[in-house]
Amino acid sequence: MPKILLVVGARPNFMKMAPLYFEIVKAERLTPRIVHTGQHYDYVMSQAFFEDLELPQPDYFLGAGSGSHAEQTARIMVGFEKVVLAEKPDLVVVFGDVNSTVACSLTAKKLLVPVAHVEAGLRSFDETMPEEINRRVTDAISDLLFTPSTDGDENLIREGVPRHKIHRVGNIMIDSLIRILGKINQDHQNRIVRQFDVEKGEYVLVTLHRPSNVDERSGLEQILKYLSQLSAQIPVIFPIHPRTRKNIEALGIDAVSAGGLRIMEPVRYREFITLQKNARFVLTDSGGIQEETTYLGLPCLTLRPNTERPITITEGTNELVDMCNIEEHSAQILSGRWKQGRVPPLWDGRTAERIAKIVVDYAIGNVS
Ligand code: UD1
């Protein structure tokens, strides 16, 4: 059977890969191998997600770890090249926009192995964002480009990608979201909100990890000051990304749980979705959370000047905010004035099924 490598490396990749893995296994027409680059390695950033998504252990763990962009990308490429040479896959599938995505697509293409990119075509048009470079390079060399929404198709066509390579399949992260929502029962929800000592619908969930928000002292201090102010009105739960925690420590910023502000270690997928589902609103700079809140119909404030996921604003519940207008927007939500939004087309839990069909035909067609 033709062989397909599914490549993941960082937290947001795992829930994008899992549904496709299960579809490929179900189809019984390709041999899948999971490659984990090790870009994320802490238990709660990696292994806990494999457990919650019920994935098997990866076939390869490259242990690339952290470092500068060049160091990390280079280590992933060197490790992945050995895997491709040993496995001789018929197709490599990469997900999202992290350094592992670009590193492995480049490596595969140079060894003449075709590449499929899941979550292609998203653009923030902001070159200061490392992910924007990763997206553009990956899309430029991929053979199959799976987009979540029409803006993705339009961006790719504008960049000269031939139409026959582009497949609009919907949002694969929503497949995982729907699956885990089905496993979160009332008991579990009650337990989680009790564990975090909050009432359902009566807290704000915060995640912030983008370098543009957390790498500089003044910005980070301003954000923490705002969160502490907000927590006087409503409890604020802030599971803190390792990057943010390390910056807080390195900059010697005083950030402790006080009053309604609860700073804590990152939480695993199942807990995070439970917390999200029951929050009053979410404040984030993550890409995926903008999409999950749109699906859940939950107000989302994105602390960024732009987004590569504009559909979450035009059709969903998301708005971009900055430190000047964040207070006004959160007050609007707290007083019950917020747009309803709707779920974009094809965010229906069947994206992996659509991708698997195309991938199976492509890999088998190439071999025969
Ligand atoms: C990466 C992605 C980003 C994604 C984010 C999700 C790139 C360029 N960035 O950012 O797109 O939104 O993951 O989480 O690929 N660290 C740990 N333990 C871990 C992983 C990281 O302590 O398991 C710490 C290290 O100090 C590391 C820092 O976090 O230096 C940043 O990790 P890195 O993978 O470089 O980028 P993220 O900020 O996680």
Which tens digits make up the pLDDT trace of 247-281?
998 888 877 777 899 999 999 999 999 999 999 99
What letter would DSSP give residue 258? B
Residue range 44-72: mean pLDDT, rounded:
98
Domain covering 3-170+347-367 in this structure, CATH number: 3.40.50.2000
User: Nearest C-alpha to atom 21 of ligand 1 is from which residue?
Assistant: 40
Q: How far is the CA of 19 from the centre of ligand 1 (A)?
A: 23
Does residue 131 line the site of ligand 1, with CB under 6 A?
yes
Predicted confidence (pLDDT) at residue 197 exceeds the cutoff of 90: no
Q: Which residues are catalytic?
A: 209
pLDDT at 289: 98
CATH of 184-334, picked from 3.30.1390.20, 3.40.50.300, 3.40.50.1450, 3.40.50.2000, is: 3.40.50.2000
Residue range 90-111: mean pLDDT, rounded:
98
pLDDT at 368: 65
- What is the b/e burial string over 34-48, where b = at least 16 CB atoms within 10 angstroms of the residue's CB? bbbbbbbbeebbbbb
Which tens digits make up the pLDDT trace of 298-348?
999 999 999 999 999 999 999 999 999 999 999 999 999 999 999 999 999
Residue range 39-43: mean pLDDT, rounded:
97
pLDDT at 292: 98
Where are the chain's structural domains? 3-170+347-367, 184-334
Whole-model pTM over 0.85: yes
- Asked whether the beta carbons of 117 and 140 are under 8 A apart, the reply is no
CB atoms within 10 A of CB 3: 16
Residue range 54-66: mean pLDDT, rounded:
98
CA distance 136 to 326: 30
- Asked whether the beta carbons of 98 and 12 are under 8 A apart, the reply is yes
> Which numbered atom of ligand 1 lies nearest the CA of 287?
12
Does residue 246 line the site of ligand 1, with CB under 6 A?
yes
CA distance 213 to 215: 6
pLDDT at 257: 75
Q: What is the mean pLDDT of the chain?
A: 96
User: Nearest C-alpha to atom 39 of ligand 1 is from which residue?
Assistant: 243
Sheet of 281-284, strand order:
261-264, 236-239, 204-207, 281-284, 300-302, 318-320
Residue range 234-244: mean pLDDT, rounded:
95
Position with higher pLDDT, 103 vs 259: 103
User: Nearest C-alpha to atom 38 of ligand 1 is from which residue?
Assistant: 243
Does residue 99 line the site of ligand 1, with CB under 6 A?
yes
Q: How far is the CA of 2 from the centre of ligand 1 (A)?
A: 33
pLDDT at 188: 83
DSSP string across 83-118: HHHHH--SEEEEETTSHHHHHHHHHHHHTT--EEEE
